[in-house]
Amino acid sequence: MAQNRTPLRYPGGKQKLTPFVLELLKANDLEGGHYVEPYAGGAGVAMELLADGHVEHVHLNDSSYHVYSFWRSILDHTDDFCSRISRSLLNVDEWKIHREILRHPEDHSEFEVGFATFYLNRTNRSGVLTGGVIGGLDQSGKWKIDARFPRNELITRVELIASLRESITLHNLDAEKFFATCVKDLPKKSLIYCDPPYFEKASRLYLNHYDPEDHGRIAKTIQKIKRVKWVVSYDGVAPILEYYSERRKFLYQLQYNASRAYKGSEVFIFSDNTVIPRRSSLPYIAKALRSNSRSLYPPLHA
């Protein structure tokens, strides 16, 4: 596992958790089924599970038109996209062109928006679309604009994903609408992995972020899902723990870099019908499972 399959860099991306998500699939006899990300972003977990043959089909939804356009472009216009990766200039003037495309997406084609999203994601600090260019506008920083743009490797990732296009369904819906319209059509052998925007600091990381009321409303919506199993990951702050107070959960430590390092407790939350593995190959998850064993695995009553 450990190979990065997604072409996008994503603040808070959960690809490090792929081994645990696979352990969840196996514990619930869902390997070979459908895997769903209502907040796809870079879809690092989804792409790794699909490329390695652990799931049959992935459903990716993102409410951001920019992010959706990227995914649609690499699936529908693979050769053109790879050609652009190969020949695009990596300088500040080119960066400004793509920044303007994202500022006025209505004036450009879906492909142009998709590639501009990719370009800024690979050339901005920490992949934040609204962040500044790596190295600064004067390129006086230690790292330059091309520091995260390995052309050949990125082309390989795009081509791999495109080869799996028949196993990928894309949506560009608000998460609530996605839950209302798409979940009912999923096969029973499905796992939904919800990774909403952070409760804290989200406004500086994502184009689309939630207010506290949005987080509370989404929590109610997710917890109404009964026909398929789901898990949620979040920053482990008090309001989130309260929203999901009746669900089994555990806190763990994970660190990301996004302009300044984000470090803090995160939480995994489980639907009542999800079997939680008792062990994990990830040390920080294994520690959390042991520490929370009483609440995660209540004793069976005669």
Burial annotation 12-44 (CB, 10 A radius, 16+ → b, else e): bbbbbbbbbbbbbbeebebbebbbbbbbbbbbb
- Region 37-54: what's the mean pLDDT? 97
DSSP the chain: ------S---TT--GGGHHHHHHHHHHTT-TTSEEEETT-TT-HHHHHHHHTTS-SEEEEE-S-HHHHHHHHHHHHSHHHHHHHHHH---SHHHHHHHHHHHH-GGGS-HHHHHHHHHHHHHHBGGG-TTSPBTTTTTT-SSS-TTTT--HHHHHHHHHHHHHTGGGEEEE---HHHHHHHTGGGS-SSEEEEE-PPPSSSGGGT-SS---HHHHHHHHHHHHT--SSEEEEEEE--HHHHHHTTTSEEEEEEEEEEESEEEEEEEEEEE-TTPPPPS--SSHHHHHHHHHTHHHHSPPPP-
Q: Are 30 and 57 members of one domain?
A: yes
- Region 224-243: what's the mean pLDDT? 95
pLDDT of residue 104: 98
- Residue 7 counted as domain residue: no
Domain closes at, from 99, 129, 158: 158
Q: Are 257 and 201 members of one domain?
A: yes
Q: Are 89 and 48 members of one domain?
A: no
Confidence of residue 288 (pLDDT cuts 50, 70, 90): very high
- Residue 179 counted as domain residue: yes
Nearest to 247 by CA among 265, 229, 227: 229
- Region 239-262: what's the mean pLDDT? 79
Confidence of residue 273 (pLDDT cuts 50, 70, 90): very high
Q: Are 216 and 278 members of one domain?
A: yes
Domain closes at, from 135, 158, 181: 158
- Residue 3 counted as domain residue: no
- Residue 127 counted as domain residue: yes
- Residue 298 counted as domain residue: no
Torsion angle, CA of 118/119/123/127, rounded to 10 degrees?
-20
pLDDT of residue 261: 47
pLDDT of residue 260: 46
Q: Are 38 and 110 members of one domain?
A: no
pLDDT for residue 205 is more than 90: no
Q: Are 57 and 182 members of one domain?
A: yes
pLDDT for residue 10 is more than 90: no
Number of C-beta neighbours around residue 175 at 10 A: 23
| CA atoms of 124 and 136, how far apart (whole Å) | 9
pLDDT of residue 185: 95
The values of phi and psi at residue 32, to 5°, are: 90, 0
pLDDT for residue 301 is more than 60: no
Q: Are 252 and 121 members of one domain?
A: no
pLDDT of residue 258: 47
Taking each helix axis from N to C end, the angle separating 151-163 and 65-76, rounded to the nearest 10 degrees, works out to 80
Q: What is the CATH number for 216? A: 3.40.50
Q: Are 101 and 83 members of one domain?
A: yes
Contact in structure between 267 and 233 (CB atoms under 8 Å) = yes
Q: Are 209 and 88 members of one domain?
A: no
pLDDT for residue 94 is more than 60: yes
Domains: count for the chain = 2
Pairing of strands 34-37, 229-235: unpaired
The residue segments making up the domain with residue 248 are 15-63+173-293
Taking each helix axis from N to C end, the angle separating 65-76 and 110-123, rounded to the nearest 10 degrees, works out to 110
- Residue 301 counted as domain residue: no
Pairing of strands 34-37, 57-61: parallel
Share of the chain above pLDDT 70, in %: 92
pLDDT of residue 259: 46
Q: Are 37 and 84 members of one domain?
A: no
- Residue 284 counted as domain residue: yes
Sign of CA dihedral 169, 20, 18, 259: positive
Domain closes at, from 158, 181, 198: 158
Q: Are 276 and 204 members of one domain?
A: yes
Q: 42-56, 99-113, 152-166, 191-205: which range is least confident on average?
A: 191-205
- Residue 300 counted as domain residue: no
Confidence of residue 12 (pLDDT cuts 50, 70, 90): low
Confidence of residue 1 (pLDDT cuts 50, 70, 90): low
pLDDT of residue 79: 99
Q: 85-89, 135-139, 209-213: which range is least confident on average?
A: 209-213
pLDDT digits (tens, 9 = 90+) for 107-149: 999 999 999 999 999 999 999 998 899 999 999 999 999 999 9
Q: Are 192 and 120 members of one domain?
A: no
- Region 183-206: what's the mean pLDDT? 83
